[in-house]
Structure 1
Amino acid sequence: MSQNTQPKSGRRWMLVALVVLVALNLRPFLTAPGPVLMEIVADTGMGYASLALLTLLPMMLMGIGAFVSPVLQAMIGTRRGILWALLLLAAGCGLRLGATDASLLMITAALCGAGVAFIQAVFPGIIKAEFPNDIPLVTGLYSAMLMGGGGLGARLTPLLVNQGAGWRAALALLAAPALVAFAAAFFILSDTRSRRPARSLTGRLLGRPRTWTLILAFGLVNAGYSSIVAWLAPYYQALGWSSSDGGSLVALMAVCQAVAALGLPILARRNIDRRSFLFLTLLMQATGFAGLAFLPQVAPIVWVGLCGAGLGSSFALAIVTALDHLPRPEEAGVLVALMQGGGFLIASLGPFATAFLHGISGSFAAGWMMHLICIAGVLFLYLRFDPAHYPRAMQMSFEPPSPERQGI
């Protein structure tokens, strides 16, 4: 399909449905364990460092996998890769039914992280190719559903546990929506046409300083997300809240993420200079983390909501901004993949660093203050994203797509 035309109406809506179904599956495996960590500890005896690995390990794999994914995409194609990735995600979730100790839980987290890594790496490129005139809108929808799925996982898991399902069964049920997404992708992606990236593209993009600026900004922001997903519920449980109430806070954060991830890209769509909106996302995050650190009991809904809105909108706008840097979908998609790959490696350290600071200070508040420092650093990185400088920042010789890279 030409990148200057939109999909036909029927196919367009099927692709929108696929965006929703796939995105909903990309975060529940991360957010679901948080509200039931105390139950997991009681059954497995895991400590804070081990619990942090449930978030750190998959995010590291999501990071490493994003560097590998463009090569795999070039070798096996987009459709086949997405189908295998969804099966891997479903297997990782389903196997948690038999996770009797920490090592088995880590294996399931690794499987989920590996599957999500490929999907996150290739999906922005699909959006740019299939919706060239609506990139901010569809990217916002994708990000909103991604965040909303995280909220559903955080809310449903403690509810199922309270109904007697047990934490293993509650976590394993997340395999069902992954299988639904697999079925949808099998039929909807069967006739898509998307160019595969050149195998040398990854190395050439990594030679550009702008790629590393995108990686660092994305990583420092999402370190806040990984920390809050891992430790928000335990933080408030330590302050006397129940596991269900802690899960509700994570769910609220995800709802605010979803609304902002959809809304802010729509507001920013008329101006390719996204910096003022990126600064707004940082202001929301800073206010939220400051409230969590210094006044956690005063207005927790406000602080969590601001953190969620700032993190969700920043995620969506970061993808849009990276896609803006290059005109060809297959090239821009790889740039986003690298941004997410390096970014998630940085972000994976968030829960571990927060747990380390908790061990020193006795409170998660030290971790929230650490993220305030990260936000200040990202502010200076965002100043560099002037669209007038994108061609020079990404100036490089791209080989024309060869016939064998056509189709998936």
Structure 2
Amino acid sequence: MKQSGAFLARPMLILTVALVGLNLRPFMTSIGPLVSKIRAGTGLSLQGIALLTLLPMMLMGLIAFIGPIVQSMVGERRVVLGALLTICIGCALRFLFPTAEGLIASAIIIGLGVALIQAAFPGIIKREFSQHIGPMMGLYSAMLMGGGALGAWLAPVISNITGLWSLGLAFFTIPAVLALVSTFIFLPSIVSSTAHLSPVKTLLKKPRTWLLMLCFGLVNGGYSSVVAWLAPSFQDHGWSISQSGKLLALLALSQAASALSLPILARKYKDRRPWLWFTLFMQFAGFAGLAFIPEFASVLWVICLGIGLGGCFALTLIVALDHFEEPNNAG
């Protein structure tokens, strides 16, 4: 498909990017507000609850190495479609098998799907929107964070209405199906070439690759820690399930706003470092506030942390795309 020079010339593909991004975080953020109900219903320990976020994050790191190889073998479109189908199945399993084993299995299944998409989609955006990488990566990142807000807010609401925590988790099968249908209709089929695909060993010999990996690891580590423990921590301080869920949703909304706006603000500057320093400072302020004075100005600390995490994630994605010309390698 020929690249369009106008940002809004391909609205349905842009919609598809948004829908796919929306489905990459609810499976994690929906857990935190419902931890007490999940533990009561399944007998999972706190260590078991931690696995529900740890295992998917580990898969995201591992799949990043083999994702481009899989794409070159079966094609990007098939990878994304298969990954979205995997997410649908994993979300549905949370209602069909609401047990400790079922939740851990679903975390692995959904994590695999999300990992494959995250390995493929930056490269797809770089190829399909080469003249508008900043705004499109901002949109993708913002929808990813917005999906996190949706999961944190909606899961406890559905759980309270239905009386089933498992239905609160499994509800996100619906947006996954919508993303699957949109991708099937609107994502173009491109034959991935291996001619410019750098082997993993070649990429690992570049110091810049290791720096980017470290940066992504730190950002995602901070994000997964907050997603897993923000709501339970405030519930221990007397907050209700609904209140703690709204606080986690506020975190995700702050991330979404930052992920959308900072890449647009930074696109006129080749040096991304001042913007990255700003996001790191905001993370420091947010983490310090929550660690030492969580009851004082908790909303402020959460907003600071959201701005820092969301902006840093989006800008780091753009930095990775800046340094690799071939879309598959960038992904």
Q: How high is the TM-score relative to the length of structure 1?
A: 0.78
Alignment correspondent of 1:68: 66
Alignment correspondent of 1:193: 190
How far is 1:100 from its partner?
3.4
Alignment correspondent of 2:45: 47
**CA shift digits 1:69-108 (9 cap, x unpaired):** 1111010000011100000000000010122321111000
- Which amino acid letter does the alignment assign opposite residue 235 of structure 2? Q
Asked if 1:164 corresponds to 2:171, the answer is no
SS of the equivalent of 2:203 reads helix
Gaps of 5+ in 2: none
RMSD after superposition: 1.5
CA distance in 2, matches of 1:9, 1:286: 35
Alignment correspondent of 1:261: 259
- Which amino acid letter does the alignment assign opposite residue 171 of structure 1? L
SS of the equivalent of 2:162 reads coil
Q: 1:331 to 1:67 in 2, by over 3 A?
A: closer
- Which amino acid letter does the alignment assign opposite residue 102 of structure 2? L
8 Å CA contact 2:71, 2:192 repeated in 1: no
Alignment correspondent of 1:240: 238
Identity %, equivalent residues: 52
Alignment correspondent of 2:302: 304
Q: Quick check: 115-124 or 199-208, which moved more?
A: 199-208
Name which one, 1 or 2, has greater alpha-carbon Rg.
1
**CA shift digits 1:226-253 (9 cap, x unpaired):** 0000000011001111111110010000
CA distance in 2, matches of 1:64, 1:231: 24
CA distance in 1, matches of 2:198, 2:307: 37
Q: Among 323, 327, 330, which residue is 1:329 paired with?
A: 327
CA distance in 2, matches of 1:164, 1:22: 27
- Which amino acid letter does the alignment assign opposite residue 246 of structure 2? S
SS of the equivalent of 2:98 reads coil
Mapping of residues 27-46 of structure 1, within 5 Å: 27-46=25-44
Mapping of residues 307-322 of structure 1, within 5 Å: 307-322=305-320
Alignment correspondent of 1:393: none
Asked if 1:275 corresponds to 2:273, the answer is yes
Q: 1:308 to 1:254 in 2, by over 3 A?
A: same
CA distance in 1, matches of 2:186, 2:180: 10
**CA shift digits 1:173-193 (9 cap, x unpaired):** 11111011000000102x443
Alignment correspondent of 1:90: 88
CA distance in 2, matches of 1:109, 1:264: 31
8 Å CA contact 2:75, 2:190 repeated in 1: no
Mapping of residues 360-375 of structure 1, within 5 Å: none
CA distance in 2, matches of 1:280, 1:8: 30
8 Å CA contact 1:253, 1:304 repeated in 2: yes
CA distance in 1, matches of 2:142, 2:128: 18
Q: 1:218 to 1:200 in 2, by over 3 A?
A: closer
Q: 1:94 to 1:196 in 2, by over 3 A?
A: farther
CA distance in 2, matches of 1:87, 1:56: 22
Alignment correspondent of 1:119: 117
Q: 1:8 to 1:302 in 2, by over 3 A?
A: closer
CA distance in 1, matches of 2:80, 2:49: 29
CA distance in 2, matches of 1:37, 1:139: 32
Asked if 1:206 corresponds to 2:204, the answer is yes
CA distance in 2, matches of 1:66, 1:328: 15
- Which amino acid letter does the alignment assign opposite residue 54 of structure 2? L
CA distance in 2, matches of 1:113, 1:35: 19
8 Å CA contact 1:139, 1:320 repeated in 2: yes
**CA shift digits 1:317-352 (9 cap, x unpaired):** 00000100122323322xxxxxxxxxxxxxxxxxxx
CA distance in 2, matches of 1:81, 1:328: 18
Mapping of residues 342-353 of structure 1, within 5 Å: none
Alignment correspondent of 1:404: none
SS of the equivalent of 2:130 reads coil
How far is 1:59 from its partner?
1.1
8 Å CA contact 1:18, 1:184 repeated in 2: yes
How far is 1:170 from its partner?
1.3
Q: Report the count of equivalent residues.
A: 330
